[in-house]
């Protein structure tokens, strides 16, 4: 199994956005998440990507836990998103948009490390 999400619960303050969400994705599969506005699709993707921390449950990529892993590390491990119609380069393919997002995440990480080290 490539990606395993087991019993994820995510909150925004006191509002519970995700309740016991579980899914499995095997290598070579294409998975679509469907639902009405406000159903939690974006929150699930943000949780998997490490942008939002789950209050309960676990997320594993190739058997390795993604709990408390920084978003840039999650991108390096192979998880990235291509948001619908926002902040995309329409002249580029989905693949190129994802690669650009990965490179931007790496640039932010490198910049943060330079800042923490006291600049150039």
Q: 19: part of which helix (H) or strand (E)?
A: strand 15-25
3-state helix, strand, coil in the chain (%, to 5): 30, 25, 45
How confident is the model over 51-74, as pLDDT tens digits? 999 999 999 999 999 988 999 899
pLDDT value at residue 15: 95
> Domain map of the chain by residue range?
1-67, 82-120
Average pLDDT over every residue of 91-104 = 80
pLDDT value at residue 83: 64
Name the more confident of 22 and 103: 22
pLDDT value at residue 109: 66
What is the CATH topology of the domain spanning 1-67?
A: Rossmann fold (3.40.50)
């Amino acid at each position: 199994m490539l990606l395993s999400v087991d019993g994820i619960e995510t909150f925004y303050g006191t509002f519970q956005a995700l309740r016991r969400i579980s899914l499995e994705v095997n290598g070579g599969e294409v998975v679509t998440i469907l639902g009405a506005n406000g159903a939690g699709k974006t929150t699930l993707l943000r949780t998997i990507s490490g942008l939002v921390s789950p209050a309960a449950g676990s997320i594993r990529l190739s058997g390795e836990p993604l709990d408390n892993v920084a978003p840039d590390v999650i991108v390096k491990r192979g998880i990235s998103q291509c948001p619908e119609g926002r902040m995309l380069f329409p002249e580029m393919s989905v693949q190129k948009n994802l690669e650009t997002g990965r490179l931007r995440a790496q640039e932010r990480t490198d910049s943060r490390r330079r800042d923490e080290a006291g600049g150039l």
